[in-house]
Amino acid sequence: MSESMFMAAALNPPKSPFKINLTPALPPPPTSSALTFKPNNNFPTLSAAAQPQQQEHAALLDTLLNSTRKNQVLQSIRTTSPFNCLSETNLHHTVPALTSKTRGKVRDIYDSGEYLVLVTTDRQSAFDRVLASIPFKGQVLNQTSLWWFERTQHITANAVVSTPDPNVTIAKKCSVFPVEFVARGFVTGSTDTSLWTVYNKGIRNYCGNALPDGLVKNQKLAENILTPTTKAADHDVPVTPDEIIERGLMTRADYEEVSRKALSLFEYGEHVASEHGLILVDTKYEFGKAEDGSIMLIDEVHTPDSSRYWIANSYLERFQNGLEPENVDKEFLRLWFKNHCNPYEDEVFFILYLLYALIRFQIRLMNLVQVLPEAPEDLVCELSWRYIFLYETITKSKFEVLSSEEPIHERISRNVASALASLK
């Protein structure tokens, strides 16, 4: 099960000790994307009405790749974060109200009895494993999700109770569906469950979706689709709607309601991204059921961890030239590891070799060299900047690099203890 299996939800969250300026959520106006798609071949073209918007967003790629703001952020990353990266937390030792800890790939989840405390760390996961720690990543993910949670309440209730710290969300407990809803608008991806990977293998019916022949990588689909997954051991397993219902993972009524909510969330996310010069390519949602039977959105929303984002202004030219889109998510980290190793087979090989070496040669664990290469510092810094860039581009607010004078674990412990005391 995913870490968010322990998440929970509240319809009317109280005021948070940690304040982020948010405006009320409004229903989305009709979508007017900067890109249009011909119905016959589904290849993108620029619409005349989109030209002013394209010009407005023309500088976005320059900001991402080479800008004063990027240099400022990279300086902060290199000078501050190595000593204050949040790779692990142990709040159950520092906050008396917390009784247990569950460690997910990215989040550490604590039980306080009535509430759950979710701490978003800087751990970076991909290929169903943790690859590195990315400075400021946890803060970016938590604050990005909060921004989206606030603005999607017209579609569904969300999981937030309070946010006492930039890295922390407090939630009520609920029953979580053991299914992740992956919404997709393009044929792309590099993981084993990505749409392009399975399509390139010749699969034309995926998670109940019939796919036509002749699609190419990074092409827009004729319509958005859902490709649900469930968990088996430590990896995601694609499932069809019928399998979800037959296996008792969800009732038909719950599946249909969640599917509608997921597609509506994705459509709204596409619109907001387009307004800011981005393309929301795909994303995943998780949902739970409250005690009153209402369905709630949980976990995270439209973050660079759970989503793919492309720069809209450069997408068309790069697509027509067979180039990968400029991305603002962890896809380029995935691609780096795919180019330097096999993240799936190397893991199995390493485990088998480890067992053999320990038994046959009695080699100590510390003397074994990991098969996976370590992510270079420049790659880690670039990913951190891209996460911050996405947050600033979507929210139109400046990311606050918090002072490292107070150790981050002490800051979180203090803020969580205060928040839980106020909720009694």
Residue 62 confidence (pLDDT) above 70: yes
- Cβ neighbours for 69, distance < 8 A, ≥ 6 positions apart: 63, 392
Q: What is the rounded average pLDDT of the residues 18-24?
A: 36
Contact 141, 305 (CB under 8 A): yes
Report the C-alpha gap between 287 and 361 in whole angstroms. 48
Residue 266 lies in a domain: yes
Share of the chain above pLDDT 90, in %: 58
Residue 45 confidence (pLDDT) above 70: no
Residue 405 confidence (pLDDT) above 90: no
Q: How many domains does the chain have?
A: 1
DSSP 5: G
Buried b (16+ CB within 10 A) or exposed e, 20-40: eeeeebeebeeeebbbeeeee
Residue 241 lies in a domain: yes
Report the C-alpha gap between 125 and 142 in whole angstroms. 16
Q: pTM (2 decimals)?
A: 0.81
Q: What is the pLDDT of residue 350?
A: 45
In one letter, which amino acid is 61?
L
> Dihedral through CA 82, CA 85, CA 89, CA 95, nearest 10?
100
Report the C-alpha gap between 240 and 207 in whole angstroms. 4
Residue 204 lies in a domain: yes
Q: 317 falls in which pLDDT band (50, 70, 90)? A: very high
CA atoms within 13 A on the CB side of 19: 3
Q: Which residues span the domain enclosing 199?
A: 176-287
Contact 168, 117 (CB under 8 A): yes
Q: 318 falls in which pLDDT band (50, 70, 90)? A: very high
Residue 261 lies in a domain: yes
Residue 39 lies in a domain: no
Residue 268 lies in a domain: yes
Q: What is the pLDDT of residue 401?
A: 84
Q: What is the CATH number of the domain that holds 260?
A: 3.30.470.20
Other residues' Cβ atoms within 10 Å of the Cβ of residue 106: 24
Q: What is the rounded average pLDDT of the residues 346-353?
A: 46
Report the C-alpha gap between 365 and 355 in whole angstroms. 10
Instruction: Please write the tens of the pLDDT for every residue from 70-83.
Output: 999 998 888 765 55
Q: What is the pLDDT of residue 17?
A: 40
Q: What is the pLDDT of residue 25?
A: 39
Single out the residue of 226, 239, 234 nearest to residue 127, CA to CA.
234
> Longest C-alpha distance within the chain, in Å?
69
Report the alpha-carbon angle 54-329-53, nearest 5.
Answer: 10
Contact 143, 136 (CB under 8 A): no
Contact 335, 191 (CB under 8 A): no
Return the bridge partners of 168, or none: 119, 165
Report the C-alpha gap between 105 and 89 in whole angstroms. 13
Residue 103 lies in a domain: no
Instruction: Please write the tens of the pLDDT for every residue from 241-300.
Output: 999 999 999 999 999 999 999 999 999 999 999 999 999 999 999 999 999 999 999 999
Q: What is the pLDDT of residue 124?
A: 78
Residue 209 lies in a domain: yes
Q: Tell me the CA distances in angstroms from 92 to 16, 209, 249, 296, one per residue in order.
A: 22, 44, 32, 27
Q: 339 falls in which pLDDT band (50, 70, 90)? A: low
Q: 46 falls in which pLDDT band (50, 70, 90)? A: very low
Residue 19 confidence (pLDDT) above 90: no
